[in-house]
Structure 1
Amino acid sequence: MRNILLVTVPRVLLGLIFLVSAVDGFWWLATGAHLIHPPTSERGLVFEAGLQNAGFFWPLLKVVNLTGALSLLLNIVPAFGLALLAPVMAVIVLFHLAINPQGLPVAIILVVLGGLLVWAYRDRYAALFR
């Protein structure tokens, strides 16, 4: 039961968050419109537009989101999926701290879910710090 609460639930929730992000991002690439777009400050919209208009970055970001999400959801090398998503989560948290504070609840959810999974997979990351 403990494994389900501390590993499976955070893994599935984080996977779903990033799967929705990837689908929305690919939808934007195909149509120029978002399926889901939470409230974003003016500066946040400018930042997002910069990422989208860079040409290469938005598709790369969405492929990373999708790869990490599927890794977590399918429980196939989930520690690797989390490692792929960690830099994305760091940027999301900093984005909400610095530019878009109304999104801080989402940032806190990412920190909690990611932190639980880092702890659960700590043995797989240990070799990186030796």
Structure 2
Amino acid sequence: MIRRLTIDVPRILLGLLFLVAAVDGFTWMLTGQRLIHPPTSAAGLRFEDGLKESGFIWPLMKTIDLVAGLCLLFNRFPALALLFLLPIITVIILFHLVLNPGGIPVAAVLAVLTGMLLFGYRDRYLPLLR
């Protein structure tokens, strides 16, 4: 029961979140239209536009979102999937703290879910820290 609350629930929620983000990102790349329109500040929109206009960062991020989100959802290499997502999660949290304060609640939920998974998979990460 404790494993379900501390690992399975955050794993599934993060998997769903990143799967939806990937679908939204690929939809934008294919059609120029977004499925989700979260409230974003002007500075946040400029940052996002820069990622999209770079030509490779946005597709790379959305590919990582898709693959890692599916790995989390299907419980296939979840600790590795989380490691691939950590740089993206860090940027998302800093993005909301610095450029888009309206999204701080989303960043807080993301930080808590990530922290729970990092703690839950700590035995898998310990060899990396030696």
The bucket for the TM-score relative to the shorter chain is over 0.9
Counterparts of 1:86 and 1:30, CA distance in 2: 26
Q: CA deviation at 1:107?
A: 0.3
- In structure 2, what is the equivalent of residue 44 of structure 1? 44
Number of matched pairs? 130
- In structure 1, what is the equivalent of residue 68 of structure 2? 68
Letter in 2 for 1:45: L
Deviations 1:30-75 (A, max 9, x none): 0011000200000000000000000011110000101110110000
Considering only aligned residues, what root-mean-square deviation do their CA atoms show, in Å? 0.5
Q: CA deviation at 1:116?
A: 0.3
Equivalent positions of 1:67-106 (< 5 A) are 67-106=67-106
Counterparts of 1:69 and 1:32, CA distance in 2: 23
Equivalent positions of 1:21-32 (< 5 A) are 21-32=21-32
3-state secondary structure, aligned to 1:55: coil
Counting aligned pairs with the same residue, the percent is 56
3-state secondary structure, aligned to 1:64: helix
Counterparts of 2:7 and 2:51, CA distance in 1: 32
- In structure 2, what is the equivalent of residue 129 of structure 1? 129
- Please, which runs of 5 or more residues in structure 1 have no aligned partner? none
Give the 4+ runs in structure 1 shifted more than 6 A: none
Counterparts of 2:119 and 2:12, CA distance in 1: 16
TM-score by length of 1: 0.99
Counterparts of 2:11 and 2:45, CA distance in 1: 29
Q: CA deviation at 1:114?
A: 0.3
TM-score by length of 2: 0.99
Deviations 1:104-123 (A, max 9, x none): 01100110000000000001
- In structure 1, what is the equivalent of residue 34 of structure 2? 34
